[in-house]
Amino acid sequence: MSRRSATASRSLLLGMWPKLALLVVAAALMIADLYLSFIWAPTDAIQGDVYRIIYFHVPIAWTAFLAFFLVLIGSIGFLWKRSQRWDALAHSSAEIGVVLATIVLITGIIWAKPVWGVWWAWEPKLTTTLVLWLIYVGYLVLRNYAPSPAQGMRYAAVLGIIGFTDVPIIYFATEWWRGQHPELVVGPAAESGLVGSDIYAVLMFSVLTFTVLFALLLWQRFSLRVVEDEVRELTYTAQRQGFLPE
């Protein structure tokens, strides 16, 4: 192996260490979170073990909101600075946010069936969450089917900013309208005493766990997105100039 190859390999390994360290931390937190959620946390006196889904449903919902908040930040940054890195942040966060929002809807449906007796109820919080999911699925579709990458970035940035207005609506839905969804248990508008101290402690640990996992996923996806965008832009330019078939 040449000296240049050895230096490149060493630099690559050094660059991977932070992600590997974060991966180890995320894995350790997830193992601990599973133990706390399924074994250590007490069973709810009314709902039984089905209540344990709160340790995943609520933290994933908050992490999805965080993802869409970063879409908002990245979209504003792109429209202001015209930097593709801001767009890459928004795009990466939107992809992860859609996955998280999908899990939120699925876990909500699973929780609703034994408690409400139906899989789905058109109540305010569920309906506005479905709207949020549709908005950011539309964001991703818009990115893929825009006439050009530059137009896709601009259109998606506008949609990413407008779409975030649904997040506070979802959060305060139980405060503004009557519905079947339980009251808020975390956040600035949550009432104290709605859940026991043990449940609240595990819930907060779950929020930390999924936040660290989200940071790892976003870091990895953002790194790949930067390279993908550069390749896509070069390909589009080559096609426009006739060097590649469209």
Please state the domain extents for the chain.
19-40+52-236
Judge contact between 214 and 22, C-beta under 8 A. Answer: no
Q: What is the pLDDT of residues 113-148, one digit of tens each?
A: 888 888 888 888 999 999 999 999 999 999 888 887
Q: Where are the strands (E) in the chain, listed by range? A: none
Residue type, 15: G
pTM given for the model = 0.86
Q: What is the pLDDT of residues 20-57, one digit of tens each?
A: 889 999 999 999 999 999 998 888 777 888 888 989 99
How many CB atoms are closer than 10 A to CB 148? Answer: 11
The C-alpha R_g of the chain, in whole angstroms, comes to: 21
How many CB atoms are closer than 10 A to CB 237? Answer: 12
Instruction: Give how far Cα 42 sits from Cα of 30, 46, 194, Å.
Output: 19, 12, 15
CB burial class (10 A; 0-12, 13-18, 19+) of residue 81? exposed
How many CB atoms are closer than 10 A to CB 152? Answer: 18
